[in-house]
Chains A and B, each alone.
Chain A
């Protein structure tokens, strides 16, 4: 799925990276815990949905080669976060939907997360 479609589905606003909307997204994860992001999205080319807006989110994205980040519940990241994202060239979007709703919409549209076996 293209980032552009994701933007439409979530009625999202592009904070930076308007010219990167053709990026292909094939995996998504949603978490406010950066260690969970590191554990779940290590395959590259993934999308992260998060409510966290600190520069650490961008550092994490850099480690994982994430394709884009979407901030939920209309959160606007601070200047430092945006600057850092520009530097590593990762698109930032924000949606007014809360985490659960945003994930639900993307999942229904066919965007899946990393496959994890269901039994502990």
Chain B
């Protein structure tokens, strides 16, 4: 069977690309990227600079070479594909398929004129999404409203350049979903302070946001030194951050108190020498 060229020309890359992607900075280690790929079941992770512009792509092949050299602790900058070939969101599927055939790559990042990554198109996406397109033509897809939306971003200790990118992305997603601005600001403050805490104090961590119509739950979990006295850490003004952090305007001992003020419910679990988990909840149906 041959599918006519016109069919592919009628489908735009932006319609079928995978937008549920995770971006990293050049400082992210290969191990955390391997984890991202495993958890998200993806085989390519775009690498962006602090302005969010693409500078590379870490592929599963890159992870394998790092693994083979026993070098997973290295920053991904060492292994990533530099200046990767990419697709434009407005490209049609026919153009994309030609590129796939020409280069024999498994996936291409989709990048706009500004150099921002909008998604990734892999051969897997094409196969799966083509099926979905066919389905849509016969019946309207049932949409489950009850499934919670989960956002997840890795945060790397000491990576001040990209500190805030995860929170910024969360904020944009919530804006797109039409969440009330005052709620968005509370979430933004919580995620940003929690993200800064990981960057300042921990080795690595992950920021997760669960969203349902009733509640937003923010979980910031890190591998790090932990907090020995949580009550003390909650005290406004108490800080263990070094001076160089203060020069950036952080480490004034207001992070956890700020998180608390913005949360409806807050729980902190910490094991010294192992890590910390901050769980914050905001109720949406509160009158």
Contact = CB atoms under 8 A, between A and B. Distances in A.
Nearest to A62: B168
B254 interface: yes
A37 B189 CA distance: 10
A32 interface: yes
Contacts of A87: 51-52
Interface residues of B, number: 30
Interface in B95-145: none
Contacts of B167: 59, 63
Interface stretch (B2-10, B67-75, B245-253, B270-278): B245-253
Given A52-B249, A56-B163, A35 B185 contact: no
A21 to B, nearest CB: 23
B201 interface: no
B171 interface: yes
A105 B199 CA distance: 37
A116 B51 CA distance: 36
A84 B51 CA distance: 6
Contacts of A62: 164, 168, 171, 188
Given A42-B186, A84-B51, A56 B249 contact: yes
B164 A59 contact: yes
Q: How large is the interface on A (under 10, 10 to 19, 20 to 34, 35 or more residues)?
A: 20 to 34
Contact of A64 (B50, B52, B185): B185
A63 B50 contact: no
A44 interface: yes
Interface in B48-104: 50-52
Given A33-B254, A39-B261, A55-B50, A63 B185 contact: yes
A83 B171 CA distance: 19
Interface in A53-93: 54-57, 59-60, 62-65, 80, 83-84, 87
A65 B184 CA distance: 10
Nearest to B164: A59
A99 interface: no
A43 B188 CA distance: 12
Contacts of B52: 87
A36 B188 CA distance: 14
Contacts of A37: 249
B181 interface: yes
Contacts of A83: 51
- The winner among A32, A63, A87 for most chain B CB atoms within 10 A is A63
Interface string B157-168: 000110110011
A38 B249 CA distance: 11
A44 B182 CA distance: 8
A16 interface: no
B248 A54 contact: yes
Contact of B192 (A36, A55, A59, A80): A59
Nearest to B160: A56
Interface string A17-33: 00000000000000011
A34 interface: yes
Interface of B: 50-52, 160-161, 163-164, 167-168, 171, 181-182, 185-186, 188-189, 192-193, 247-250, 252-255, 257-258, 261-262
24 contacts: A32-B249, A33-B249, A33-B250, A34-B250, A36-B252, A36-B254, A38-B189, A39-B258, A39-B261, A43-B182, A44-B181, A44-B182, A54-B247, A54-B248, A54-B249, A56-B160, A56-B248, A57-B249, A59-B164, A59-B168, A60-B249, A62-B168, A63-B167, A87-B52
